[in-house]
Structure 1
């Protein structure tokens, strides 16, 4: 692939230089021929033969440059074909990489297509971002990010045995497996001055609850999070 790209770049450069040189020569020859045609013969009777010879020479030069110009156009056509072939090859390579990634992902999920995560890692700049980051980490099984955003969980995950941690990750994924999205309501304050954020669960049509009636959702359509702003980040300190 790199060889095709290098060849295309060389052809583009050489073709462009040749085209500019030939075009300048062709324009100069045409200008000389026009000047000679307009020159009065009576003023140079002794040099008439030289003038005619010069005209014939210029005609041959114009014919040669015209032929060379046609070759340049042909070369430019070859460059366009090579460029299109390169773009096609790059598209095929990208499609192959996407297909390989999808096949590898299907193998990791026992042949089942992976469901798109409706949440994203939004960081912890706002209460809403912190809650969505927590849900994203639960869906992806990302225990490190989950510990950073949820202080309740942070104290338990590091002390779990490997088997218990693996079961917890499966539980978190199952808890969020049937949740399509989340809708936040206006923020509130509790008596302690903490921010309380209420969120409404959005589930697919025909679904009434999560696959596992555990975790932060339960069978309810709403949930409440208590958050604090610490060291420039919002963290979840409670949920009910």
Structure 2
């Protein structure tokens, strides 16, 4: 008689949920790690930002606790910025003193010509500009300084000989062409006139290393060349005394 095999009974696993729960917890942990990484703040930059805001709203007064929170790197960067600002302020102070002194001296020496509107003294972005009408210095079509003007220019040179600022002398003409054996064009005439002023300055003790002579012909008129008076105004010598840290190289004047 054959024995009937008993059917195997399968037991239901009641702990399978633990696997899903563990997977969920792992994913949740990874999620919060990623979120923390995204939201983390650069502490140093945050402190600098907080310091700047506090300084702005408190009028530059910082509490000891705020300063103590800054890192050494933050304080070093702050110190570098303060030194840079101090250097810029000192450079601006020297520039202002230079402009004030030189302008006052030129107005004193050239007072009579300034009143007759043959000379002007003005401040530019690069320093001080002294403009002298060509009729004061030269005869028509000539580049040799007239005897009557030598004394005035010599006084200007003596004022400038005592410092080390760079000086640019620019010659300007009107738009009427010149054709002579000595000056084939206005380029030669304007250059020769600027060079004459430079030579006089050197003779009066101004270092040649400080001087630049530039001929600009009729390229930068003060006013349109449409009348004889306008052309006479455009014929001029412009002497630029460059302020400290101003670039020296024949930077062209504004039209």
Coarse TM-score class (shorter-chain normalised)? under 0.3
Q: Which has the larger radius of gyration?
A: 2
Higher helix share: 1
Q: Which has the higher contact order (CA 8 A, sep 6+)?
A: 2
TM-score, normalised with respect to structure 2: 0.26
TM-score, normalised with respect to structure 1: 0.27
